[in-house]
Amino acid sequence: MTTDIGWVGVATSLVLVAIAVALSVRQGLGLERSMAWASLRAGAQLGAVGVVLAVILDPDTPLAAAWAWAAAMVVVAAVTVRARAPEVPGMLPLALATVGAVTALCLAVVFALGIFPVVPEAIVPLAGMMVGNSMAQTAVAARRVVAELADHRDEVEARLALGLPWPDAARPHVREALRTAMQSQIETTKVVGLVALPGAMTGLILAGVPAGDAVLVQLAIMYLILGAVAISVIVVGVGVVRRLFTADHRLVPLVRR
Amino acid sequence: MPATPPLFAFEDVVLHGDGAPRLDHLRLEIPDDGVTVVVGPSGSGKSSLLRLCNRLEVADRGVVRFRGQDVDALDPLLLRRTAGMVLQRPVPFAGTVRDNLLVARPADASDVSLAASLERTGLDPAMLGRVADELSGGELQRMCIARTLLTEPEVLLLDEPTASLDAANVARVEATVRSLVARGLRAVWVTHDHAQAERVGDRVLALAAGGRAVADGAPEQGAGA
């Protein structure tokens, strides 16, 4: 199989979107504008990314450019997490540290163990996958911790009133929040390949890589993502809960969103 | 011989709420003896006053003293075990009555000591293995008192502990607290119910809406204030 899809192929793939737009208009669903905007925006974004990636992946471009791209992704992810979880105090530096550290750790494992070579073609997509998954679950975990403690304020204060230090007073609720935050990734990992083929593997097969090799690559990536998500969730959970208690073991006022 | 300092003293205490202050330059002393009832209408800052006593909240201005010492200078965890709080709505934790009592981390965590704490609140020691969520409202509130007693407090801070109970259970909780006080415990009981203040209090202090002290005295004088 070749990958010379070309602009005509891309345009043709929009046929289904066009059918959906037509259906939306006919049924009066009002979705046509947002579908058209999403399609256009995705095209423009990926086009721009493609131009930058072409430069980064150029053999004459220094490797540092790929690392800079990965660092930029971490910053964008941290800003996104803060926007998604505005009720969490000090979210930006915490998200920056969490996503950055987890991404760095995963890439260090990948390259130190020689799973992939240290080339821009590995750095950029792997960093993207780690940052993307870590970002999503970091925001979920932070919001769940705040929501759990806000919803169970009376239980937390009942424990504090018994003279328990804040980590012990918060533990049952933080455990519940982090379990919930991890659940979707664990479920996804459990059914991988049964319900849908994962993205990296699909891409490799479409690009003509033998299925056996695609499976191995996907497995390595999946384990890395699971580890990255678990570490992100735990680190951000511990970091957030620390910000919600004072030094004299009081729960700060919380706003549930 | 120096005078015994009050159990709690509020020295010009201000606590801000949403908009209006919950406590407004409050000056109040709670003697180190018996049951002191603080009565007041809704919004008079009764619960806030108790939360300041064991530092679930801190004053925006002024000083709260426990037996002469500024509570800010005390270890909050030790203070909370010395002045144990019983919340208005009983809060059971997951699991059995035994699990609930063990959260208090008693020095002696044997079933014998746990059962003894239930007995002190008039509960059947055989209920240790029962699921806490299945207890009646009155049983639950007395279990919460038993749980607090396991921290070996010298003072009980009671935040309208009978607000959600029927008359029979109100009487049981009142009798439980009176019997504990007869054995040496101090109690600070806040309520909006003047009749209850007369029944359980050795003295009654009154708060007005807006968080200012308005009167104190023996129950027969203060209850109607």
Question: Tens digit of pLDDT for each residue in B148-195?
Answer: 999 999 999 999 999 888 898 899 899 999 999 999 999 999 999 999
User: pLDDT value at position B2?
Assistant: 64
With contact defined as beta carbons under 8 Å apart, do B99 and A159 qualify? no
Nearest to A46 by CA among A76, A10, A82: A10
Q: Is residue B12 classed as helix, strand or coil in its secondary structure?
A: strand
For residues A205 and A212, give the distance between their C-alpha atoms in angstroms, rounded to a whole number: 10
* Range B126-148 average pLDDT: 94
Q: Which of A155, A161, A172 lies at the smallest CB-CB distance from B80?
A: A161
CB contact under 8 A, B151 and A163: yes
Mean predicted lDDT score pLDDT of chain A: 89
- Which residue has 């505005």 as its token pair? A86
Chain B positions touching A161 (Cβ under 8 A) are 54, 56, 80, 84-85, 87, 148
For residues A9 and A1, give the distance between their C-alpha atoms in angstroms, rounded to a whole number: 15
Q: Is residue B64 classed as helix, strand or coil in its secondary structure?
A: strand
The two three-digit tokens of residue A221, written as one number: 């990536």
In sequence order, what are the residues at sequence separation of 6 or more whose Cβ sits closer than 8 angstroms to the Cβ of residue A66?
Answer: A56, A57, A120, A123, A124
Chain A positions touching B54 (Cβ under 8 A) are 161
User: According to DSSP H, which parts of B16-92 are helical?
Assistant: 46-53, 76-82
The two three-digit tokens of residue A8, written as one number: 């005509």
CB contact under 8 A, B93 and A164: no
Chain B positions touching A160 (Cβ under 8 A) are 56, 80
Picking from A148, A152, A162 by the largest number of B CB atoms within 10 A of its own CB, the best residue to mutate is A162
Nearest to B203 by CA among B3, B5, B27, B38: B38
Where is mean pLDDT largest: A88-92, A95-99, A180-184? A95-99
Q: Which of A155, A164, A248 lies at the smallest CB-CB distance from B55?
A: A248
CB contact under 8 A, A163 and B94: no
With contact defined as beta carbons under 8 Å apart, do B177 and B158 qualify? yes
Among the residue ranges A137-151, B120-134, B201-215, the one predicted with the least confidence is B201-215
User: B199 pLDDT exceeds 60?
Assistant: yes
For residues A222 and A199, give the distance between their C-alpha atoms in angstroms, rounded to a whole number: 10
Chain A positions touching B93 (Cβ under 8 A) are 155, 158-159, 172
R_g of chain A, CA atoms, integer Å? 22
Q: Which of B93, B104, B148 lies at the smallest CB-CB distance from A155?
A: B93
Q: Return phi, psi of residue B190, to 5°.
A: -105, 140
- Comparing alpha-carbon positions, the chain A residue that sits nearest to B75 is A248
Q: Is B151 exposed, middle or buried (0-12, 13-18, 19+ CB in 10 A)?
A: buried
User: pLDDT value at position A4?
Assistant: 67
With contact defined as beta carbons under 8 Å apart, do B63 and B25 qualify? no
* Range A153-158 average pLDDT: 96
CB contact under 8 A, A164 and B55: no
In sequence order, what are the residues at sequence separation of 6 or more whose Cβ sits closer than 8 angstroms to the Cβ of residue B27?
Answer: B10, B11, B12, B13, B213
Inter-chain Cβ pairs, chain A and chain B, closer than 8 A: 55
User: pLDDT value at position A205?
Assistant: 87
For residues B47 and A17, give the distance between their C-alpha atoms in angstroms, rounded to a whole number: 60
- More reliable by pLDDT, A200 or B71: B71
* Predicted TM-score (pTM) of this structure: 0.81
User: B82 pLDDT exceeds 90?
Assistant: yes
Kindly state the helix (H) or strand (E) to which residue A49 belongs, with its residue range. helix A32-56
DSSP assignment of A149-191, as one string? HHHTHHHHHHHHHTT--HHHHHHHHHHHHHHHHHHHHHHHHHT
- Comparing alpha-carbon positions, the chain A residue that sits nearest to B74 is A248
Q: Which of B76, B87, B144 lies at the smallest CB-CB distance from A248?
A: B76
For residues B183 and B180, give the distance between their C-alpha atoms in angstroms, rounded to a whole number: 5
Nearest to A240 by CA among A179, A178, A185: A178
Nearest to A73 by CA among A96, A105, A46, A40: A96
What distance in Å separates residue B85's CA from the closest CA in chain A?
6
* Range B96-123 average pLDDT: 93
The two three-digit tokens of residue B51, written as one number: 């939360």
Nearest to A161 by CA among B96, B81, B178: B81
Among the residue ranges A202-206, B128-132, B149-153, the one predicted with the least confidence is A202-206
Strand partners, B85: B157
- Comparing alpha-carbon positions, the chain B residue that sits nearest to A153 is B91
Q: Is residue B206 classed as helix, strand or coil in its secondary structure?
A: strand
* Range A7-14 average pLDDT: 84
* Range A46-58 average pLDDT: 90
User: With an 8 Å Cβ cutoff, is B16 touching chain A?
Assistant: no
For residues B37 and B158, give the distance between their C-alpha atoms in angstroms, rounded to a whole number: 9
Q: Torsion-angle region of residue B193: left (phi > 0), alpha (psi -120 to 50) or beta?
A: beta
Chain B positions touching A152 (Cβ under 8 A) are none
- Which residue has 């891309």 as its token pair? A10
What distance in Å separates residue B56's CA from the closest CA in chain A?
6
Terminal CA-CA length for chain A = 49
* Range A82-99 average pLDDT: 90
- Comparing alpha-carbon positions, the chain A residue that sits nearest to B94 is A172
User: With an 8 Å Cβ cutoff, is B116 touching chain A?
Assistant: no
Q: Are strands B212-217 and B203-208 parallel, antiparallel or unpaired?
A: antiparallel
User: pLDDT value at position B224?
Assistant: 36
Chain A positions touching B80 (Cβ under 8 A) are 160-163
Chain A positions touching B105 (Cβ under 8 A) are 162-164
For residues B201 and B219, give the distance between their C-alpha atoms in angstroms, rounded to a whole number: 6
CB contact under 8 A, A172 and B94: yes
Chain A positions touching B147 (Cβ under 8 A) are 162
For residues B64 and B54, give the distance between their C-alpha atoms in angstroms, rounded to a whole number: 10
For residues A233 and A230, give the distance between their C-alpha atoms in angstroms, rounded to a whole number: 5
User: B223 pLDDT exceeds 50?
Assistant: no
Chain A positions touching B57 (Cβ under 8 A) are 250
* Range A88-111 average pLDDT: 91
Nearest to B76 by CA among B61, B55, B49, B48: B55
Chain B positions touching A164 (Cβ under 8 A) are 77, 103, 105
User: pLDDT value at position A149?
Assistant: 95
